[in-house]
Amino acid sequence: MVLVLGLYDRVQMKSRLERDFYPLEAVFEKAGLEKQSDQDYTKAGLVPWSVHVDADKIRKNGYRFPYAQSEQDWLGRIYLPKESLEASLGQELGHQGTELVLTSKSQDLKQVLATTRLIAHAGGTMREAGFLSAYSNSLQALKQNYSLGHRIFEFDLNLTQDGRLAAVHDWEGEALTSQEWESAKTSDKANRQAQYTSLFWEDILKQMEVNPDMIVVTDTKVQSKSQAAIEEQYRILGQAVQKFDPALADRILVQLYKPEDYTLVEELSFFKHYILTLYASDLKEEAIAKALVDKPKIVGLTLPQKDERLTDSLIDQIHAQDRLVFVHTVDGFATLSKMLNRRIDGVYTNNLLAKDLELYQAVLDSQKLNFKLKLATTKKFLW
């Protein structure tokens, strides 16, 4: 009888797994989470996880992962959609028979950039009733946009008076001290009532620990700064990662502002991936591709979307070097479509979400299908 029940249980479980429903408790246990109650789980680490399972969503450290359906088996075990469980854990789920398999997502940063295509600019827009707040670089913006599907985040970073990197696009006047910034509330210039939690670079690293698939692009501002200040920013950036968790360097893309920065940052020996951004550079089109040749860790470059240097010829040259081309900042579907049709690999955006990419792909697939149907009709008519 026991053998029959065991076989029945495995058959039932395998059927659900094949429909992409996974047993919640078993998945969490495999991910290292400890059950505290029927709805609450925790995980120890550099940054502890606190997970709560509601009837329609999983909540983790302020992040939300909704699901539309759940199932319960004959033993009362809860099964949730694979997609929602993967999103909450930042890992990939699979199975071999009824054996669960949990693996890290791809650490090939260039491949992730090429397939994800969207970089949430300044942490992404904070969406509130009747108001969109961009450029906040805030904890709330990060949590909201990660919950909405973003996985790659750009943050603006500026030095405080006492040498810490604060997530702020620019100081309005004199730089604050770290103590002043810690107690400050970031706000939107167009709406002073919108106030959010300010971040330091170390706080962003903590959020990367909570989200194992989160990638960060740094924007340490260089305009109107001395070379010494620029070097200090890179040094502080790297030292914080080394102190907190060196493995995070695999998921950090450091923006360089001129080709010569490559040697400088390489000498610090902190980081593995760079992207050359040209908004502060007067480098001519014909010199851009040449400047990348002996710099293998630069995975790509980014330019303003209306930059006159962004020609088809330049895109061809960068792709010929097996590197990516990004543009900033794109917030409309029409512009997104235009850029992707030009073979741009991705965009920095305040407002766009993964669903916008899905819509673009659906339109593209529809156009391809219509073309095939017209071609087939034409051939039939000719015959």
Residue 383 belongs to a domain:
no
Amino acid at 178: S
Residue 223: pLDDT band with limits 50, 70, 90: confident
Distance CA(89)–CA(98), nearest Å, equals 20
**Where does the pLDDT of residue 2 fall: very low under 50, low under 70, confident under 90, or very high at 90 and above?**
low
Decide if 50 is inside a domain.
Answer: yes
Domain-embedded: residue 262: yes
> Domain tally for the chain?
2
| Shared-domain flag, residues 221 and 343 | yes
220: in domain = yes
Together in a domain, 77 and 48: yes
Confidence at residue 131, expressed as pLDDT on a 0 to 100 scale: 84
pLDDT score for 5? 63
Q: Of 68, 84, 103, which closes a domain?
A: 103
Domain boundary (103, 128, 155) is at 103
Domain that holds residue 66: 2-103
293 three-state secondary structure? coil
SS3 61: coil
Residue 359 resides in a domain: no
Alpha-carbon distances, residue 25 vs 31, 38, 264, 303 (angstroms): 10, 9, 48, 46
Global model pTM greater than 0.75: yes
Mean pLDDT of all residues in the chain?
92
- 383 pLDDT band, cuts 50/70/90, is low
Mean pLDDT computed over 129-150 = 93
| Residue 143 belongs to a domain | yes
The H-or-E segment that residue 3 falls in is: helix 2-18
**Residue 263 preceded by cis peptide, ω within 30:** no
Q: What is the pLDDT of residues 318-375, one digit of tens each?
A: 999 999 999 999 999 999 999 999 999 999 999 999 999 999 988 888 877 665 666 6
Q: Identify whether 10 is part of a domain.
A: yes
The pair of structure tokens assigned to 363 is 């339109």
Give the domain-ending residue among 103, 131, 151. 103
In a domain, 148, yes or no: yes
Residues 23 and 79 in one domain: yes
Same domain, 310 and 246: yes
Structure tokens at 196: 């959010």
Instruction: Give the model confidence (pLDDT) of 7-56 as tens digits.
Output: 778 999 999 999 999 999 999 999 999 999 999 999 999 999 999 999 99
pLDDT surpassing 90 at residue 191: no
Pairing of strands 34-35, 324-328: unpaired
Question: Residue 154: in which H helix or E strand, if any?
Answer: strand 152-159
CA–CA separation, 116 vs 357, rounded Å? 9
pLDDT score at 380:
58
Q: Do 183 and 250 lie in a common domain?
A: yes
